[in-house]
């Protein structure tokens, strides 16, 4: 069947149209996305601004039309950290439903981590053994780990690249002292949950997914996306450490020239790199494997699993 997955993230609104069948990998058929940057359309009270709501509702209206034109039998619509954490989330969701006819399911941080873990587990398979997965989004960092398809532990921290950029880099480049304080805060937050992930056992394999990790891996020498999803890609801690001081000194124009960096996300590269470095340091990981599947694929796979169960009962 043809499914639409409407993902309202903290950075981007993304409709992914896939041909999906039980027992087969979801096959991308069409992609429609816009840089909504909801994590940055928050007022001083933590509410999504009128500009942010209008951008979100307008994108959802367009996505509904695209999904219908592309023959989607069903569209799975969800929102993550920016909507989840906003103080006016109920009003935002109600307006989107009224204007676009879209009911957005707000995923908890734990569900976000769990579904991302499912996608990465299916990509690497059982040979990955005990798996740990990291995902730096716009608003939050998800970490999950375990030996099965459902993680033993799935947690979410408010350490997304866009959130960190807004809180720490809004006035331009922070001073060395501010960066040192930010680095300390990030590491303390991650260290508080690391024991939950590591207590059952150290990972046999560690993976990272989503845009921030892909961009950092590309900067550090990984293959470009044009070579396809089956090419192995890694992010090496030594390479990342060598790049961070250079990234801190670069202006937005210079960052935009780096491979894998979108011009709209240049301000997120340094905070994202600091979060990635902290994850690898605290979990004692010299390398992360980059997985091309992430939350959207996890949502699709769980829906296919549910359909298979219902079909089997019938």
Q: What is the pLDDT of residues 224-253, one digit of tens each?
A: 999 999 999 999 999 999 999 999 999 999
Q: How many domains does the chain have?
A: 2
* CATH code where residue 260 lies: 3.30.420.150
pLDDT band at 313 (very low <50, low <70, confident <90, very high): low
Q: Residue 100 corresponds to which tokens in the numbers above?
A: 């676009």
Report yes or no on 196 lying in a domain.
yes
d(CA 220, CA 21): 36
Is 306 among the domain residues? no
**Together in a domain, 278 and 194:** yes
Domain span at residue 100 reads: 2-106
Is 270 within the bounds of a domain?
Answer: yes
Q: Where does residue 18 fall: left (phi above 0), alpha (psi -120 to 50 degrees), or beta otherwise?
A: beta
CA distance 23 to 65: 29
Domain boundary, last residue among 87, 106, 125: 106
Burial class (CB in 10 A: 0-12, 13-18, 19+), 238: exposed
Query: pLDDT band for position 254 (50/70/90)?
Result: very high
Task: Tell me the pLDDT tens digit for each residue of 257-282.
Answer: 999 999 989 999 999 999 999 999 99
Q: Are residues 53 and 127 in the same domain?
A: no
Together in a domain, 242 and 256: yes
Give a yes or no: residue 68 inside a domain.
yes
The band of 40, judged by pLDDT with boundaries at 50, 70 and 90, is confident
**SS3 for 185?**
helix
Q: Are residues 100 and 114 in the same domain?
A: no
Do 101 and 117 belong to one domain?
no
| 253 shares its domain with 150 | yes
Laid out side by side, the sheet with 287-291 consists of 153-157, 141-146, 131-136, 205-209, 287-291, 234-236
Judge whether 185 lies within some domain.
yes
In this structure, is residue 308 part of a structural domain? no
Which helix (H) or strand (E) segment is 49 a member of? none
Same domain assignment for residues 228 and 292: yes
In DSSP notation, 78-133 reads EE-HHHHH-TTHHHHHHHHHHHH----EE--HHHHHHHHHHHHHHHH-GGG-SEEE
| pLDDT for the residue 175 | 87
The answer to whether residues 270 and 211 belong to one domain is yes
Query: Which residues, in sequence order, are bridge partners of residue 132?
Result: 145, 206
Q: At 287, give phi and psi (nearest 5°).
A: -155, 145
Task: Please compute the mean of the pLDDT values over residues 162-168 and round it to a whole number.
Answer: 91
Task: Out of 84, 106, 128, pick the residue that ends a domain.
Answer: 106
* Residue 142 and residue 23 share a domain: no
CATH code where residue 88 lies: 3.30.420.40
């Amino acid at each position: 069947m043809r499914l639409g997955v409407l993902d309202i993230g903290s950075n981007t609104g993304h409709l992914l149209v896939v041909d999906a069948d039980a027992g087969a990998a979801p096959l991308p058929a069409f992609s429609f996305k816009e840089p909504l940057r909801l994590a940055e359309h928050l007022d001083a009270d933590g509410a999504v601004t009128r500009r942010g709501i209008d951008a979100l509702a307008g994108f959802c209206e367009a996505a509904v039309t695209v999904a219908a034109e592309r023959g989607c039998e069903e569209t799975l619509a969800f929102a993550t950290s920016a909507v989840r954490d906003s103080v006016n989330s109920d009003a935002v969701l109600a307006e989107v439903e009224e204007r676009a006819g879209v009911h957005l399911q707000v995923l908890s941080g734990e569900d976000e981590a769990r579904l991302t873990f499912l996608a990465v587990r299916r990509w690497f398979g059982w040979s990955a053994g005990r798996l740990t997965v990291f995902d730096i989004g716009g608003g939050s960092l998800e970490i999950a780990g375990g030996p099965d398809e459902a993680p033993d532990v799935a947690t979410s921290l408010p350490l997304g690249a866009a959130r960190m950029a807004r809180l720490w880099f809004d006035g331009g480049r922070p001073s060395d002292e501010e960066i040192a304080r930010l680095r300390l805060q990030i590491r303390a937050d991650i260290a508080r949950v690391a024991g939950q992930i590591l207590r059952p056992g150290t990972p046999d394999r560690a993976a990272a997914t989503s845009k921030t990790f892909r961009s950092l891996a590309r900067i550090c020498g990984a293959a470009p996306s044009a070579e396809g999803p089956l090419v192995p890609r890694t992010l090496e801690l030594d390479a990342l450490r060598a790049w961070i001081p250079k990234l801190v000194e670069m202006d937005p124009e210079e960052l935009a020239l780096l491979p894998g960096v979108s011009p709209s996300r240049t301000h997120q590269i340094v905070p994202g790199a600091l979060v990635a470095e902290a994850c690898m340091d605290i979990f004692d990981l010299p390398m992360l494997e980059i997985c091309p599947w992430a939350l959207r694929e996890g949502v699709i796979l769980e829906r296919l699993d549910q359909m298979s169960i219902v079909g089997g009962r019938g």
